[in-house]
Structure 1
Amino acid sequence: MIPLPTDDDRGQVGIGTLIIFIALVLVAAVAAGVLVQTSGLLQSQAESTGEDAQSEVGNQISVVGATGTVSSSNVSQVDLVVKKSAGSDPIDLSDATIEYTSSSASATLTHAGSTSANEFTTSKISGDSSTVLTNTGDRVEVSIDAATIEGDNGIAEGEEVQLRIVDQSGATTIYGVNVPDSLGDRSYVTV
């Protein structure tokens, strides 16, 4: 006959089983720590990527108007009046680049104090700064010396130039300059 269990019967755990149990708890704790640390790192990377993507989409430069200075039957200088789009962070044009592309020339322009082949200048129309657009009411004129870039008198009648403006956050604005087919005897034209 099988004896019935009593309160006097107790299970005993050997020291080996206890060591294995403690080791499993330690391994689980280390694994949990690694997972928490990895999830924190991934969260911070996702936030940074989200902010960068939002800046690239949200920080836009709007071209309000564009004129060309006529010299020797060509447009020798292009002047853009720009503002920041609604909802954009402040845009610093001194950190911007302009990629100038025509059928005969290509150049990447950076901001400078005086215009040369690879530079553009800015001047304040309204607002507090000649380079930083902080409010949607701020206007800055961006001047590009097309004659120097083109290597002759400038942009010919009927020609087109693409200006790709990239601000400090990486946001891109593309503006097409279209010179009229006939400049006549005008000193300035809308482009």
Structure 2
Amino acid sequence: MFEFITNNEDRGQVGIGTLIVFIAMVLVAAIAAGVLINTAGFLQSQAEATGQESTDLVSERIDVTSTVGIVEDSGIYGQTVGDNPQNLSQVRVGVTAASGADQIDLNKTTVQVVGPNGQATLTFDDTADGSYGDASGINSGTFAIQNASGGYISSDNAVLNSSNSFTLVFNTNNEPLGDGEDASTGGVLFGESESSSLDIVSPSGATTSVELTAPDLFSKKGAAVRL
């Protein structure tokens, strides 16, 4: 009724072979599980990073509240303005943080400008000199920032959040709004009927686009006109 194995050597060989196959299967399964766990962890990290970047592109954005140009007045930029001003002495763009945004470091914010005299990427300059009462102290390739009181701010205070607002100030004598030449010797400023576009890029890469178009006629020196 029952078959007995009396050969001990044959019985041991069968047991060892089965054990070897079993151990190999366990090792393969363990390696496969390790690979799957590592891959899943990597994909999770990538998904979280991508999700955060996508969220920042939407929320860490700079909103534009106003775009204003200041008509040239007598004596600015070393030239005398007649009764019929034809240029803007500065462009002013009011900005706030978008709803839900955290603190935005304007030191790392850039403005890509396409104007009548080409294109350029401008960076924040906290050394702007406002003692002349205009934007002539803003260096080429840069923009300045003013607070709500009209004072130029330093890099330490250039942080935009939900509780404050700033004004980006552009020197219209600098390229690409102007031609970069000294206005007293015939340099060209941003003038009547001219247009320009600004792309304000936050540190997270979120971009806010602004179109500027000057009125066809400036009627009053020193006046603020909507762009």
Settle same-fold status: TM greater than 0.5. yes
TM-score (norm 2): 0.75
1:20-73 CA-to-partner distances (Å, cap 9, x unmatched) read 210110111011011101100110111001100110012221111122122251
SS of 1:120's partner is strand
1:63-102 map, 5 Å: 63-71=64-72, 72-102=85-115
Q: Is the 8 A contact 1:124 1:131 kept in 2?
A: no
Structure 1: state its 5+ residue gaps.
none
What is the root-mean-square deviation in Å for CA atoms of aligned residues? 2.2
Equivalent position of 1:20 in the other structure: 21
| Alignment partners' CA distance in 2, 1:19 and 1:170 | 57
1:1-191 map, 5 Å: 4-5=1-2, 12=11, 13-71=14-72, 72-113=85-126, 114=128, 115-125=138-148, 130-135=157-162, 137-149=163-175, 150-151=178-179, 152-187=187-222, 188-191=224-227
TM-score (norm 1): 0.88
1:95-145 CA-to-partner distances (Å, cap 9, x unmatched) read 10000102432110001122211101112217x97411121x411111111
SS of 1:147's partner is coil
Structure 2: state its 5+ residue gaps.
6-10, 73-84, 129-137, 180-186
| Alignment partners' CA distance in 1, 2:17 and 2:2 | 26
Moved more, 35-44 or 85-94: 85-94
The residue type paired with residue 100 of structure 1 is V
Q: Is the 8 A contact 1:123 1:130 kept in 2?
A: no
SS of 1:108's partner is strand
| Alignment partners' CA distance in 2, 1:5 and 1:103 | 103
| Structure with the higher strand share, 1 or 2 | 1
Runs of 4+ that moved beyond 6 A: none
The residue type paired with residue 16 of structure 1 is G
| Alignment partners' CA distance in 1, 2:208 and 2:171 | 19
Q: CA deviation at 1:153?
A: 2.9
